[in-house]
């Protein structure tokens, strides 16, 4: 495990580099199929006791939730183990293994690494490429060390990669929060909703009832679909983004931001009249409720109104 000094040097370098590297997630190249995998990193019995114990139980619960969601959708789950060369514990011992409460299976691919990054001198990249994976979700430990190193190694290899906020931990909760902020970690609910949505026919969202939307996809808040809508915008899947954000506006008709986001998707898709109509709805709803984002919504509405 890395020393605190080494970890903070890595974190500082990552912070300085995070904007240009992170922007690679938001490319506008033609959309590729959504083919995700889950990396469960280093949650070995030997390391769990040196994590901040406030984070361990919630993170392990979140990891099992992720495993179950990936299993349900038939997406790969890769288990990653750390081994310091020449040191104990040896592979195969109880201390080396994950706790028995973790819902992994023998058939889940297993990677043993000797360096912080799960990609360095391992077969991980080959495993992922053989499965056609292009998107990675990360959970495990430590957020300030091996998970972080794997995150940036994945970006360097052109994967879309996301830490899952509730599923990572480190020696100090405050440090974990710093890394979550640096990497823009996704909420667990956002990830599980996204898994259910992103590989399907998103046009179906427009014909499902509100009750079906919530029960089928597990949508818990307007933020879930709004974030997925912007993910699709950044991937240049504009028609899919419109479908998702239209469903969000229908589910949450009193949320001004839902209509502003839908207006943004329509505008980027060249549908200016529909964009203007939704910007106007956002502006009027925000004005009625004295929404703190009113200046933003008003600016978008008047900008497009004047352009027309």
237 and 164 within one domain: no
Domain extent for 119:
4-186
**Above 60 in pLDDT, residue 16?**
no
Average pLDDT, the chain: 89
Locus of tokens 């990360």: 138
pTM of the predicted structure, to 2 decimals: 0.82
Mean pLDDT of 163-180: 97
Domain count for the chain: 2
Count of alpha carbons within 13 angstroms of residue 295, beta-carbon side: 1
60 and 88 within one domain: yes
294 and 176 within one domain: no
**Above 80 in pLDDT, residue 6?**
no
* CA separation for the pair 120, 113 (Å, rounded): 7
247 lies in some domain: yes
CATH of the domain at 274: 1.25.40.10
CATH of the domain at 22: 3.40.50.850
pLDDT band at 154 (very low <50, low <70, confident <90, very high): very high
**Above 70 in pLDDT, residue 20?**
no
Q: CA-CA distances (angstroms) from residue 36 to 28, 90, 275? A: 19, 31, 31
**Above 80 in pLDDT, residue 297?**
yes
pLDDT above 90 as % of the chain: 74
pLDDT band at 200 (very low <50, low <70, confident <90, very high): confident
**Above 80 in pLDDT, residue 30?**
no
Radius of gyration of the chain from its Cα atoms, rounded to whole angstroms: 21
- The string of pLDDT tens digits covering residues 88-142 is 999 999 999 999 999 999 999 999 999 999 999 999 999 999 999 999 999 999 9
247 and 103 within one domain: no
Task: Give the pair of three-digit tokens for residue 110.
Answer: 């297993």
Domain boundary among 186, 212, 237: 186
């Amino acid at each position: 495990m890395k020393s605190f000094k080494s970890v903070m040097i890595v974190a500082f370098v990552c912070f300085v580099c995070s904007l240009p590297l992170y922007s690679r997630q938001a490319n506008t190249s033609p959309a590729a199929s959504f083919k995700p995998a889950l990396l469960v990193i280093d949650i070995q019995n030997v390391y769990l006791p040196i994590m901040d114990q406030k984070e361990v139980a919630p993170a392990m619960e979140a990891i099992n939730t992720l495993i179950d969601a990936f299993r349900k959708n038939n997406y790969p789950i890769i288990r990653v183990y750390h081994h310091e060369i020449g040191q104990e514990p040896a592979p195969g011992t109880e201390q080396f293994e994950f706790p028995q409460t973790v819902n992994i299976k023998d058939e889940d691919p297993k990677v043993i690494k000797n360096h912080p990054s799960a990609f360095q001198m391992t077969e991980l990249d080959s495993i992922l490429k053989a499965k056609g994976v292009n998107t990675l979700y990360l959970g495990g430990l430590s957020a300030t060390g091996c998970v972080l190193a794997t995150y940036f190694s994945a970006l360097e290899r052109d994967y879309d990669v996301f830490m899952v906020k509730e599923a990572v931990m480190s020696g100090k909760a405050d440090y974990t929060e710093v890394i979550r902020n640096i990497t823009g970690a996704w909420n667990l609910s956002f990830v599980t909703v996204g898994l259910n949505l992103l590989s399907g026919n998103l046009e179906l969202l427009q014909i499902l009832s509100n009750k079906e939307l919530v029960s089928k996809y597990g949508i818990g808040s307007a933020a879930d679909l709004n974030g997925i809508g912007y993910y699709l915008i950044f991937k240049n899947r504009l028609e899919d983004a419109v479908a998702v954000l239209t469903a969000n506006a229908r589910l949450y008709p009193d949320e001004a931001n839902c209509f502003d986001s839908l207006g943004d998707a329509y505008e980027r898709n060249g549908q200016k009249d529909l964009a203007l109509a939704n910007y106007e709805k956002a502006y009027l709803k925000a004005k009625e409720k004295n929404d703190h984002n009113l200046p933003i919504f008003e600016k978008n509405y008047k900008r497009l109104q004047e352009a027309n």
